[in-house]
Amino acid sequence: MRRIMYLWLPRWPIDRRHLSQRKNIGAPAEEAPFATVADAAGRRLLAAVNPAATAAGLAPGMPLADALSFLPGLATALAKPAEDAAALRRLAEWCGRYSPWTAPDGADGVRIEITGSAHLWGGERALAADLMARLDRRGVAGRIVIADTLGAAWGMARFAEASGNVLILAPGELRAALALLPVEALRLDPITAQGLRRVGLKWVGDLYAMPRDALVRRFGETVARLLDQTLDEMPEPLSPLGEVPSRRVRLSFAEPITEPADLMLATERLTADLVPRLAREGTGARRLDLAFHRVDGRVERIRLGTARPSRDPRHLAALFKERLDTIDPGLGIEDMILAAYAVEPLPAEQIGLPGQAARNETSGIAPLLDRLGNRLGLDAVSRLEPRESHIPERASVRVAIGEALASSVAPAKAEAQGQLAPGPGSLDPRLRGDDGIRPPRPIRLFDPPEPVEAFWLLPDDPPFRFMWRRRRHRVMRADGPERIAEEWWRPGASGEVDAIRDYYRVEDEEGRRFWLFRAGLHGGD
């Protein structure tokens, strides 16, 4: 059974402003009447009011002139919806400690899917009580409703009459609880809700007996769809704020921690808890995220990737250790969550035997690539990958270690021919040219090619002397020519004679070797 927890923040713009102005989380809220003001169609209206202004009779949407005439001592400030939305997004991210399926809803709500995670907190009521207690300590007013659907939780949070700040609807209680709510609880726009009231449909229960076809013909598909979604008769997707991890582990502390040594010990414990789960599934982590939840609601993160799947706890902990100095613990870290966002199959590997090194991830080049990628980014570490082309500059491309690009020759084909696919630290024979098909190729090419002034006796003979970078070189040994024509089947091919190249491998009097080519045939321009 799907369970949704909805957090409604009726005074979020006011509470957000107080949070940003306090020097510590225990500072009292302002008691003087206060409101934020926004411009709408050339009029200045109240956007949000604090409890003191509400007690004085003010409400959002009231013109500022009327509010000042009614309460001359009202303090005002311009509304900042962009900052409110950014803070709400950070709050939704902070709620990720309860479930990875969190997202802001509108301008004053956070939706959280707690299916399968409530038991980790001792049940739904204990989970909601923990969230409400943390909000109360920060001075944020809110109301929490847990129900089977998002629509039911949204409507009950805003329109249900209840004494407490936490309301839990048991499975199967939707219809009875929603029947007493106004039609606005279905998330309808004001015009549609007014149209329903005009024909006598004032409560959600009044719509239960109405045929869906009649509702669609009279009020459109929106009313019928929202009603069915609220009653769990039609699925409603819940998109999370970010990517949902495939596996995650959490560690909570009795007291907030700030020391780097404590953070490192907690990181080692989290990696040790995650690895057995990966081992049981035969997978390894490729992309990890370590979140540090501070007591002030801010979330610090360390994100890293690996060159190949890994489930070595010491190796993963060492990667996080290199970046722990980037974490600001603030007043303390109360929760740490390690999440694996990308995992790949990783079969069991042979451990080392006496007198023989182990051929696994800890003995290869993968740990080095991980450390370099952790410092520079995996996109900055690349390797050469072959491509099927006889044009030298097209025969290979640089591929980031963190990417999984398909080669023009599949690894399965190479294995079928009894060949081993090149690893991240090896050079493919096709790049060297010693695959038995083409002459040897140099490892390094100039891009673009550098001009050379050459001299030869016969048109197709190798040059006997050439000048490069204003220095003369006398050719002692040479091989060639190797004629390479243009790939005429590619789009944009010129088809001109100058596209034909004659390549020569030469060695000068000092033993230095060069790979030269002549563009076009002898006698051309």
pLDDT tens digits, residue range 91-137?
999 998 899 899 999 999 999 999 988 888 899 999 999 999 999 98
DSSP 232: T
φ/ψ of residue 144, rounded to 5 = -115, 135
Percent of the chain with pLDDT over 70: 86
Q: Which of 270, 484, 308, 455 is nearest to 394 (CA)?
A: 484
Are the C-beta atoms of residues 82 and 75 closer than 8 Å to each other? no
Residues 6 or more apart whose CB falls under 8 angstroms from that of 128 comprise: 5, 144, 146, 166, 168
Position 426 pLDDT exceeds 50: no
User: Per the structure block, which two tokens stand in for 410?
Assistant: 């599949």
Looking at the structure, tell me whether residues 277 and 409 fall in a common domain. Answer: no
* pLDDT given for residue 350 in this prediction: 64
Q: What pLDDT, on a 0 to 100 scale, did the predictor assign at position 92?
A: 92
Identify whether residues 365 and 306 lie together within a single domain. yes
pLDDT of residue 25: 44
Of 198, 216, 244, the position where a domain reaches its end is 244
With CA atoms as reference, report the closest residue to 17 among 46, 42, 49, 52. 49
Q: What are phi and psi of 355, to 5 degrees?
A: 80, 5
Number of compact structural domains in the chain: 4
Strands 333-345 and 283-294: antiparallel
User: What are the residues whose beta carbons fall under 8 Å from the beta carbon of 430, sequence distance 6 or more?
Assistant: 386, 395, 409
Q: Rounded to whole angstroms, how far apart are CA atoms 422 and 429?
A: 9
Span 347-367, average pLDDT: 63
pLDDT number for residue 277? 92
Q: What residue type is 308 in one-letter code?
A: R
Q: What is the per-residue pLDDT for 417?
A: 44
Mean pLDDT of 407-426: 42
Identify whether 121 is part of a domain.
Answer: yes
Lowest-confidence region among 14-28, 135-149, 208-222 = 14-28
257 in the same domain as 239 = no
pLDDT at 142: 93
Q: Specify whether 252 is located in the same domain as 237.
A: no
Using the predicted structure, report yes or no on whether residue 413 has a pLDDT greater than 50. Answer: no
Residue 24 confidence class, pLDDT cut points 50, 70, 90: very low
Mean pLDDT of 325-351: 88
**Average pLDDT of the segment spanning 244-272:** 92
Q: Give the predicted TM-score (pTM) of the model.
A: 0.69
Q: Mean of the pLDDT values across residues 269-278?
A: 94
CA distances from 458 to 349, 464, 467, 523, 525 (A): 60, 10, 18, 11, 17
Domain that holds residue 511: 453-519
Backbone dihedral angles phi then psi of residue 245, each to the nearest 5 degrees: -70, 155
The mean pLDDT value of the chain amounts to 84
Same domain, 57 and 157: yes
DSSP line for 191-202: HHHHHHHHTT--
Same domain, residue pair 39 and 95: yes
Residues 155 and 295 occupy one common structural domain: no
34 and 183 share one domain:
yes
- Please enumerate in sequence order all residues whose Cβ is within 8 A of that of 52, keeping only pairs 6 or more positions apart, or say none: 30, 31, 32, 33, 34
